[in-house]
């Protein structure tokens, strides 16, 4: 079992319990889970532009 906790704009905590199939695929990912590389690249580009 796997759970993700997230906070709504109203400040309410929600628990997301995605389904993991036999091959290990997850049907739901929390927002922003895979965009860390994009965030880091954006920060580096901002610093380079200064």
- 1-50 pLDDT, tens digit per residue, is 789 998 989 999 999 899 999 998 889 887 777 777 888 888 888 877 76
CA distance 20 to 11: 28
pTM, two decimal places: 0.50
What is the structure's pLDDT at 22?
A: 93
What is the structure's pLDDT at 50?
A: 67
- Kind and range of the H or E element at 6? strand 4-7
């Amino acid at each position: 079992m796997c759970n993700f906790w997230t906070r709504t704009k109203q400040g309410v905590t929600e628990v997301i319990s995605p389904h993991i199939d036999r091959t290990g695929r997850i049907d739901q990912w929390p927002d922003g889970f895979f965009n860390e590389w994009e965030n880091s690249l954006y920060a580096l580009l901002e610093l380079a532009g200064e």
